[in-house]
A = this chain, B = another copy of it.
């Protein structure tokens, strides 16, 4: 029995290590995707696209391993929650990698274009906060720190507010000069992608809370991107 328990703990440790590895890779992909955007560096962007495949593979392996642990060890209560959480967080991180990859693809698409620094800085600023949120919540998972997870969840509103403000600024640029439209549309999707990275950090915060307490946050999550809630402003419509 002693043996079984420590084998389980060993397996949990491996799962936790796998999640930490995925987290480090996801943070790196975000950083490099944004760096590629800032520097208009399609080669760096291509390495992000390529390295995202590793994250996909790690996610599948983590899921396979978690399921085998459940089948072999039949963990209950907290132990089961720990295993399920690893699987869920791996899935969130895989999606974060996809979002970084999407940004990188747009960098390849807009290569050569001279970007408005102010707009790129806007995207970068949101990405920095999203990456920090991701790092904080992964630390909260490894430290089993419910309070830190709560803070991540609350701070998501800041990302949403910045996104909404950048969204409006991008629309303004498009309206000022139609030649801006194509590039601004790509930046709009980049901004949306980083905003969604923040949502995944929030999802992970909810998983951390569930691991520690065994219950889901029961109040509604603080609201996300509100641009879809904004009424259209003025002007004739197509």
Chain A contact residues, CB within 8 Å of chain B: 60, 63, 67, 70-72, 74-76, 80, 84, 91, 102, 105-106, 108-116, 119, 171, 173-186, 188-189, 192, 216, 227-238
Pick the residue among B116, B178, B185, B228 that contacts A106 (CB under 8 A). Answer: B228
Assembly CA distance A119 to B112 (angstroms) = 31
Pick the residue among B75, B105, B116, B175 that contacts A237 (CB under 8 A). Answer: B116
Chain multiplicity (copies) = 2
Assembly CA distance A177 to B112 (angstroms) = 26
In the complex, the chain B residue whose C-beta lies closest to that of A172 is: B181
- Please give, as numbers and ranges, the residues of chain B lying within 8 Å of A175 by CB-CB distance: 178, 181
Assembly CA distance A72 to B153 (angstroms) = 34
Known: A174-B174, A181-B171. A109 touches B236 (CB 8 A): no
Assembly CA distance A55 to B189 (angstroms) = 26
The 3 closest A-B pairs by CB, nearest first: A179-B235, A116-B238, A105-B228
In the complex, besides A114-B237, A116-B238, 8 extra interface pairs with C-beta distance below 8 angstroms are A110-B231, A119-B238, A175-B181, A176-B178, A179-B234, A181-B181, A183-B238, A184-B238
